[in-house]
Amino acid sequence: VGGTDPYSPLPWPYLVGADPPWIDGRAVAAASWVRAHLPAGSICAADRTDAPAVAAIGLVNPAQGLQGGQSVPYLYFSPTFDSRDLATIAAFGIRYILVDLRLSTDVPHVGIYFSPEEPLAGHYTHPIPRNDLTKFAKAPGLNRIYDDGEIQIYQVNTNFGS
């Protein structure tokens, strides 16, 4: 057995913030649902482990990096859904937000949940608070369209923010 990471070549349970090749059955099921139900090429916010699955299997484009002074990780790290979330959604043209509640169970194994631009990249001492991830269920302008108990997908209403 060979590989660059001790967890990559073996069938271990899901690892939070592992390298993108670490995609489990839940991520594959969500990505398969995305392919069957969402328009190809749509922009979807997702963490670094789930993003490759929804891109390769679901045929959507993950929102990544910085745009218009906004960063996708902010959506997940803020305790409330606020005007900066709206600005982030608008800057990236996000139509869907994938939330993996398992991010609240551990710090990321490779030091980042999303991208190097996130606030504590490489320096996490505790996981993302679950409340920061569950806020989307109550956010105006978002509709939960997929929920397997751990992975949820929200659709951004087309008139969101207007």
Mean pLDDT for the chain?
87
Question: What confidence tier does 8 reach under pLDDT thresholds 50, 70, 90?
Answer: very low
Cβ atoms within 10 Å of 104's Cβ, excluding its own: 18
d(CA 5, CA 18): 9
Question: How does pLDDT run across 23-71, given as a tens digit for each residue?
Answer: 788 999 999 999 999 999 999 999 998 999 999 999 999 998 888 889 9
Residue 13 reports pLDDT greater than 80: no
Share of the chain above pLDDT 90, in %: 63
Per-residue confidence band for 12, with pLDDT thresholds at 50, 70 and 90: low
- pLDDT tens-place string over residues 144-153: 999 999 999 9
Average pLDDT over residues 77-94: 94
pLDDT for 20 equals 56
Q: Which residue has the tokens 């169970």?
A: 105
Residue type, 15: L
The contacts of residue 139 (CB under 8 Å, 6+ apart) are 81, 85, 154
pLDDT at 21 over 80: no
CA 78 to chain centre: 14
pLDDT in tens, 119-128: 777 788 999 9
Kind of pairing between the strands at 151-156 and 96-100? antiparallel
Cα separation, 24 vs 28, in Å, equals 6
Is residue 10 predicted with pLDDT exceeding 50?
no
**Within 10 Å of residue 12's Cβ, how many Cβ atoms?**
12
